[in-house]
Amino acid sequence: MTIDPWRITGQAEIDSYVGSRVELAVLLANCLTATSAHGRHVAPPRSGDERLAAITAQSAAGRSPGTLTAADADQLAGIAADLRPAFGAGERILEVAAQLNHLLVRHGAVPNLHGDSDRPLVLAFHRADSSLVDAWAADMGTALAMVIGVGQAARLGACQADRCCLVFFDTTRNASRRFCDLSCQNRAKATAYRARRRA
């Protein structure tokens, strides 16, 4: 069950942009920085080419990486590592907010209306002449900050199953999602069941 996006930020018009940037942060954190997934150890990509391939593989589902280079992919790995703590932050939220604020300054985040006579105006969070990496970082950082800033930090989730550090954007009605997907949910259930049987 998903909720109407406006329930998250209260502003329907900016939601598809903000939501897509939160999802981009999820995608990059998972494909560039995860060290475990679904109960298994995974090795994050280490070279620019490997990172670019990982992003491109994930992006096949909709987002075109455009003119992304291996050097860009290396920088995005660092940004993804900076954004990752925003997911499942819990008690660390003040520390996370300070880190996000630094990232927004570092990448020149600024509200900026993009568009022209052929395209409707959209509020982005980077200058039109930003580098692609700065633009992605500013947009993702602002989107995460907006979710946190409307009291919805709990929607930036981290999988609670054993040996899985994948993150996700929880759009369930009551922000109750605990796992990255059904396989981890079933695995955690089975673990809890075995623990009860032993007890």
Q: Which residues bind Zn ion (CB under 5 A)?
A: 159, 161, 164, 166, 180, 184
CB of residue 37 to Zn ion, shortest distance in Å? 7
CB of residue 78 to Zn ion, shortest distance in Å? 24
Question: 34 or 124: whose CB is closer to Zn ion?
Answer: 34
Question: 38 or 114: whose CB is closer to Zn ion?
Answer: 38
CB 140 within 8 A of CB 17: no
Question: 77 or 165: whose CB is closer to Zn ion?
Answer: 165
CA distance 197 to 125: 52
CA distance 160 to 108: 34
Question: 22 or 124: whose CB is closer to Zn ion?
Answer: 22
CB of residue 160 to Zn ion, shortest distance in Å? 8
Q: Which residues is 41 bridged to in the sheet?
A: 36
- The one-character DSSP state at 43 is P
CB of residue 43 to Zn ion, shortest distance in Å? 17
